Structure 1
Amino acid sequence: MTDRKFANTLARGLSVLRAFRISDDGLSHSQIVERTGLSPATITRLTYTLKELGYLSQNGNLLRLGPAALALASVAQMSASFLDLANGPMQELANTSQTLVLMAVRDGHSMTLVRTWRPRNASSIWLETGNRVPMSRSSTGQAFLAALNAERFQALDPDAELHAQREEAQQQLAARGFVFVQGEARYSKTVNAVSRPFYASDLGEPVVFGCGATPEELTDNRILTEVGPMLRNAMQDLENKTGGPRALDQLRA
């Protein structure tokens, strides 16, 4: 990054914290190097500093998120007041649709799952909190792109393909009230999902709610006729409860 205001050392330190997944039972230095793409010497300096500050802890050769990181996550979650209102309806949506309902936030040029609601009696659900999906060619990412204003979108330094994906997502959102990527355009052949952005004033930028399952369980037709409308209605109810702007109102702004 060439912006003089951008603190590269801070960005690298945060990339270390983002390397951890909920399924990890600790990470070695070499695993952090692999996940961040930073040099071993840089990782040694950063992890030492983060340990001293309490953001990492170490047991033997494995590093884990420390108490300072847990405290920060707790504060962030408590400040997102809309989550209290979302929990019940999203669990009901998961049970009714028999899909994994998720909430994702932007993480660089990816979307990270920060909350999931699993349906009761589900056979297999493949995603969990901490998983990332690409912004490009995922319904989650494209719903986020559709919700961004022009200035924030340009800050992503988008190429022509991302411009086209954003335009397509905005058209879907205006026409149907939800966004999904069909067929060969999907980034993954094992996941099918439908998404809708939510304007979270607490967080300063949109988050995305979605429903996902395997393509066999969640076909494109089922998205269009059943699950997509269910997600749209649930999100409209949440917008009414929180008093926040509707997705379509923001598109017209």
Structure 2
Amino acid sequence: MSASTPSDFDDSADSIDERKFVVALARGLDLLRAFRPGETMLGNRDFVARTGLPKATVNRLAYTLTVLGYLRFDEGLGKYALDAGVLSLGYALLAGADTLELARPHMRALALEVGAAVSLGCRDGLDMIYLETIRSETALTLGLASGSRLSMLTSSMGRAYLAVQTVEVRAALFADLKRAAGDAAAALASAAERAIEAFGEERCCYSFRDWHEDVNAVAVPFREPRDGRWLVLSCSGPASSMGEDVFRERVAPKLKALARRLGQAE
């Protein structure tokens, strides 16, 4: 992961006024985003590797975040953990997420009906972050909890988000994503571009074994009525028991209907 730039944080790079953009703040948030689901402690070397920031910058940012209550330093381990300040921000977001509250019972009903996992997510930098995931009792797919991240290139959710961006914004995001993907960029970008091209007719994006060898998924974007931001619904299940035809013929129509119910679907 490279250090954040203004284009990483908005649906339209043209809307960013770089004179007002506080790079130091963006870099501090990069440190908080460096934590992945299931990780409790990270050291300065981890921060440097995941953000691309110099060690001296990481030291200053980590110290500041610790003073402000967003990180906690363990003297014995010489590593940092997320502290209560981050938790309070997360609760504030979820408490105000009217769409999430509205979506939950519908997501639960769909998960039970199709025997899979149904998720709601939004963009965070170059990733899609899961706001909620509801699984049926019989769902055998890999579980992704709230706060989990997936690449825009490999996930159906990310591809659906990219599909509804303007040509200019999508091109800028692809450029950033290819740089982040490194040697695998060409193959990943090609698969994502094919999925996005099909969106024009399908009105959804698929990911068949692209993220994981035994996971198929479909995603549908919609605009949140309250503030107009793009959210994405996805449904995923084991490829071994839920083939492509199941997602195209049974799951996708139901997911599209749910997206229309929750907001303004494309």
Distance 1:124 1:218 in 2: 10
Distance 1:165 1:35 in 2: 24
1:178 aligned residue (204, 225, 242): 204
Distance 1:201 1:43 in 2: 38
Tell me the residue number matched to 1:12: 27
- CA offset at residue 155 of structure 1? 4.9
Q: Work out whether residues 148 and 206 of structure 1, in 8 Å CA contact, stay in contact via their aligned partners in 2.
A: no
Query: Structure 1 pair 238/157, CA: closer, same or farther in 2 (3 Å)?
Result: closer
Tell me the residue number matched to 2:81: 64
Distance 1:34 1:180 in 2: 31
The alignment's TM-score, normalised by the length of structure 2, stands at 0.77
Q: Work out whether residues 99 and 119 of structure 1, in 8 Å CA contact, stay in contact via their aligned partners in 2.
A: yes
Cα deviations across residues 201-239 of structure 1 (Å, max 9, x unaligned)?
445421111011232133111111111122112222223
- CA offset at residue 192 of structure 1? 1.6
Distance 1:131 1:49 in 2: 25
The alignment's TM-score, normalised by the length of structure 1, stands at 0.81
Q: After alignment, is 128-137 or 208-217 more displaced?
A: 128-137
- Count of matched residue positions in the alignment of Structure 1 and Structure 2: 239
Q: Work out whether residues 145 and 166 of structure 1, in 8 Å CA contact, stay in contact via their aligned partners in 2.
A: no
- CA offset at residue 7 of structure 1? 2.5
Distance 1:204 1:163 in 2: 29
1:169 and 2:193 are equivalent in the alignment: no
- CA offset at residue 177 of structure 1? 3.6
Q: Which aligned pairs between 1:102-251 and structure 2 lie closer than 5 A?
A: 102-150=119-167, 152-153=169-170, 155-156=172-173, 158=175, 165=192, 168-169=195-196, 171-172=198-199, 174-182=200-208, 186-202=210-226, 204-239=228-263, 245-247=264-266
Distance 1:125 1:188 in 2: 9
Q: Work out whether residues 146 and 167 of structure 1, in 8 Å CA contact, stay in contact via their aligned partners in 2.
A: no
Q: Work out whether residues 122 and 131 of structure 2, in 8 Å CA contact, stay in contact via their aligned partners in 1.
A: yes
SS in 2 for 1:27: coil
Cα deviations across residues 173-213 of structure 1 (Å, max 9, x unaligned)?
x5334221456xx3543432100002124454211110112
Distance 2:174 2:20 in 1: 17
Query: Structure 1 pair 151/131, CA: closer, same or farther in 2 (3 Å)?
Result: same
- CA offset at residue 31 of structure 1? 2.7
1:45 aligned residue (39, 49, 60): 60
Unaligned runs of 5+ in 2: 7-17, 179-185
Identity rate, percent: 32
Distance 2:86 2:49 in 1: 21
Query: Structure 1 pair 127/238, CA: closer, same or farther in 2 (3 Å)?
Result: same
Q: After alignment, is 205-214 or 160-169 more displaced?
A: 160-169
SS in 2 for 1:112: strand
SS in 1 for 2:142: coil
Distance 1:45 1:100 in 2: 41
Distance 2:191 2:237 in 1: 26
SS in 2 for 1:85: helix
Equivalent AA in structure 1 for residue 201 of structure 2: A
Cα deviations across residues 74-97 of structure 1 (Å, max 9, x unaligned)?
112222211111010101111222
| CA-atom RMSD in angstroms | 2.8
Query: Structure 1 pair 203/20, CA: closer, same or farther in 2 (3 Å)?
Result: farther
1:99 and 2:116 are equivalent in the alignment: yes
Distance 1:189 1:33 in 2: 30
Cα deviations across residues 109-163 of structure 1 (Å, max 9, x unaligned)?
2212222112224345342333322212431111001222345435536499869
Equivalent AA in structure 1 for residue 114 of structure 2: S
Equivalent AA in structure 2 for residue 169 of structure 1: I
